[in-house]
Amino acid sequence: MNMRDDIAEILYTEEQLAEIVSRMGRQISEDYEGKNLFMISVLKGSLIFMADLMRAVTVPCSIDFLSVSSYGKGTVSSGAVRILKDLDDSLEGKDLLVVEDILDSGVTLSFLLKNLSARNPRSIRLCTLLDKPERRKVDIRPDYVGAEVPDEFIVGYGLDYAEKYRNLPYIGVLKPEVYAG
């Protein structure tokens, strides 16, 4: 089986993604000069983006990962968010950059932001590779956005459908018949 057969359309190629990530890395490096940058990857979707983004950042940084409950096998958010894997260390005095794959309804990040702010970091900002602004349910604005995408189900470059397609090196729209059945 070839995963490419399940993709209706490629939105961003490997080369385009590399360019987007390098531009974001440059901006973040400027903004975090002299700060205590702590990049937090929201698993699992942001794994590949995080790995590329941190190498595009030229200022010192440390990293950690957290994981929250997700869509399960569906394509629509249930709205209930829970921390499944938490950070290892205290956030006091750190300049947090929360790294997400895609900002959809915003429910997940709005919950996370509240949770992380309560741990007394020095600052907190959001960085998302993709943004689906049409779908927003809560008022949340990311500080760094790689690209806006239409209201369709996107996979690849870390993003999954039922845990599949994360290893596609590009980002594409999943054919609706794949999840309609």
Q: Is 6 in the site for ligand IMP (CB under 6 A)?
A: no
Continuous segment of H or E residues that includes residue 63: strand 62-68
> Is 89 among the catalytic positions?
no
> Which listed option, ligand IMP, Mg ion, none, makes contact with residue 104 (CB within 5 to 8 Å by class)?
ligand IMP
Structure tokens at 162: 């039922």
153 closest CA partner among 89, 76, 78, 99: 76
Q: Which one from 6, 52, 95, 104 is the annotated catalytic residue?
A: 104
DSSP letter for 175, please: P
Query: Is the distance from CB of 148 to CB of 128 less than 8 angstroms?
Result: no
Q: Which is nearer to ligand IMP, 8 or 59 (CB)?
A: 8
Sign of the Cα torsion 81, 133, 153, 17 reads: negative
Q: Which among 31-39, 42-50, 57-65, 114-122 is the span making contact with Mg ion, rule CB under 5 A?
A: 42-50
Q: Is 45 in the site for Mg ion (CB under 5 A)?
A: yes
Q: Which residues are catalytic?
A: 104
Residue numbers at the binding site for ligand IMP (CB under 6 A): 45, 70-71, 77, 100-108, 153-155, 159
